[in-house]
Amino acid sequence: MDAIEITGGRPLSGEVQVSGSKNATLPQIAAALLAPGRSTFRGVPDLADIRTLGKLLGHMGARVERDGATVYVDADRVANPEAPYEMVKTMRASVLVLGPLVARFGRARVSLPGGCAIGARPIDQHLKGLQLLGAKIDLAHGYVEAQAARLRGATILFDLPTVTGTENLMMAAALAEGRTVLENCAREPEVAALADALNAMGARIQGAGSSVVTIDGVNSLRPMDIQVIPDRIEAGTLLAAAMITGGDVVVRGARPEDLDGALAKMREAGARISAERGGLRIVAPERPDAVDFITAPFPGFPTDLQAQLMACLTVARGASRVVETVFENRFMHVQELVRMGADIAVDGHTAVVRGVARLSGAPVMATDLRASASLVLAGLRAEGKTKVHRVYHLDRGYESLEKKLAALGANVRRVKGALA
Ligand code: EPZ
């Protein structure tokens, strides 16, 4: 397994381009299942999770090809609408094939994703919605079996805003008979991007990005040809890298409207952030100011940036309170940061981070995608060498992060085949 080796202490400077969004691409590629013919996706990041979904669609009989940053998905022939356990367990977003498969083929057999490192992450809202659309849902042997001759529009009120739940049901309702109204929807930019893609296929969706989405079902859809939106979480991670090193960086492609909650807190922590050169420029103080934050559904502070901002706050002036409300176990980076000299106390969903003057490099272990990013960030600040092991977690959601950081002046390299 590879590792990432960092020698910290250099303020980052320069300009970096954000890649396409992982969490926008995954539902959009799943949506290709809704139409016969070949869909085209431009600006697709080369990530492990994207490859996993491509393999899953290939397993079903779709043809998936990549030419540079363009991915083609031909869903003409999908012989078996099934997502097997061994594929779903490596990437829970595979559950996004459920809605499209039932809508187009009238049946689907998808492995229940099971828990993951950051929490139980049930899909009860996905299943409740499909039942309300008329699907017959059976749970057996760890699989969801869904069947429906033709889905029928319905009003669905989510118990809580769920990103992939909203996405799955938007896709299912696109081919249902009549009108579906989804209420208490997730408002993340990736949901709006999926609606744009579905409308490009001929769907009739309004309101995506707000908490009420209306879908008027159509009888058939055509392939799409779309450009993937920039990855706001990668953008936020790169901004945090500038913050933790007291740097001056332009993140090209970052869209301010996608990061309201995160930018507000970074500014409160003393960073100057302005729209410049088709992206965002951040000029950070040598040490950030302490700031309290709580994660919440969009437009609140994104849970996917919690570990990264926490890393910055380990060297802040003062103490910060961090509350994680979205997932039940998303503080696994804390103990590794403590091994690097951070002073963090966790009590349930709350972590109190007391800023220290310096961190010291250490061998650390990545446990999940965003935790591994926060350890890399801490290594950029720490004195001496940090070695982040199990960076396959990082490769799920970041395209060559170490190369991007090196181009900004960081002393960082990937070590092939390091010990586990
Ligand atoms: C999406 O996951 C993202 N993944 C996650 O990003 C992100 O952290 C999360 O949204 C929250 O923003 C993709 O888009 C592929 P949810 P998702 O359903 O859809 C509970 C990353 O790092 N819930 O919005 O699975 C759930 O347990 C990943 O890129 C139910 O109870 O998240 C959680 O507490 C990690 N029942 C909360 O809702 C359900 O049926 C929000 O989950 C569905 C969700």
Ligand 1 centroid to Cα of residue 304, in Å, is 10
Inter-helix orientation angle 306-313/260-268, to 10°: 0
Q: Is 164 in the pocket of ligand 1 (CB under 6 A)?
A: yes
Q: What is the pLDDT averaged over residues 133-161?
A: 97
d(CA 326, CA 304): 10
Share of the chain above pLDDT 70, in %: 99
Query: Quick one: tokens of 180?
Result: 């579906």
Ligand 1 centroid to Cα of residue 212, in Å, is 18
Q: Is 168 in the pocket of ligand 1 (CB under 6 A)?
A: no
Task: State which ligand 1 atom lies nearest to the alpha carbon of 186.
Answer: 24
Residue 417 confidence (pLDDT): 76
Q: What is the pLDDT of residues 159-172, one digit of tens each?
A: 999 999 999 999 99
Q: What residue's CA is closest to ligand 1, atom 43?
A: 123
Q: What is the pLDDT of residues 242-273, one digit of tens each?
A: 999 999 999 999 999 999 999 999 999 999 99
Residue 416 confidence (pLDDT): 87
- Residue identified by tokens 């969009």 is 298
pTM above 0.75, yes or no: yes
Task: State which ligand 1 atom lies nearest to the alpha carbon of 127.
Answer: 40
Q: Is 119 in the pocket of ligand 1 (CB under 6 A)?
A: yes
Q: What residue's CA is closest to ligand 1, atom 9?
A: 163
Task: State which ligand 1 atom lies nearest to the alpha carbon of 164.
Answer: 19
Task: State which ligand 1 atom lies nearest to the alpha carbon of 188.
Answer: 12
Paired with 282 in beta bridges are 249, 273
For residue 337, is pLDDT > 70? yes
Residue 116 confidence (pLDDT): 78
Ligand 1 centroid to Cα of residue 61, in Å, is 28
Q: Is 380 in the pocket of ligand 1 (CB under 6 A)?
A: no
Ligand 1 centroid to Cα of residue 163, in Å, is 6
Q: Measured at the alpha carbon of residue 404, what is the angle toward residues 415 and 50, in degrees to the nearest 5? A: 80
The catalytically annotated residue of 116, 117, 338, 407 is 116
185 is catalytic: no
d(CA 79, CA 62): 8
Q: What is the pLDDT averaged over residues 131-153?
A: 96
Q: What is the pLDDT of residues 67-93, one digit of tens each?
A: 999 999 999 989 899 999 998 988 999
Q: What is the pLDDT of residues 218-230, one digit of tens each?
A: 999 999 999 999 9
Residue 113 confidence (pLDDT): 87
Ligand 1 centroid to Cα of residue 8, in Å, is 33
Q: Quick one: pLDDT band at residue 58, thresholds 50, 70, 90?
A: very high
Residue 142 confidence (pLDDT): 93
Q: What is the pLDDT averaged over residues 405-410?
A: 98
Task: State which ligand 1 atom lies nearest to the alpha carbon of 95.
Answer: 25
- The answer to whether 39 and 225 have CB atoms below 8 angstroms apart is yes
Averaged confidence pLDDT in the chain? 96
Q: What residue's CA is closest to ligand 1, atom 37?
A: 326
For residue 396, is pLDDT > 90? yes
Ligand 1 centroid to Cα of residue 63, in Å, is 28
Beta carbons within 8 Å of 180's beta carbon, 6+ residues apart: 133, 153, 154, 155, 156, 169, 173, 214, 215, 217
User: Where would I find the H helices in 329-368?
Assistant: 333-339
Q: Is 162 in the pocket of ligand 1 (CB under 6 A)?
A: yes
For residue 210, is pLDDT > 80? yes
Residue 119 confidence (pLDDT): 86
Rg (CA), the chain: 21
Q: Is 369 in the pocket of ligand 1 (CB under 6 A)?
A: yes
For residue 419, is pLDDT > 80? no
For residue 340, is pLDDT > 80? yes
Residue 420 confidence (pLDDT): 56
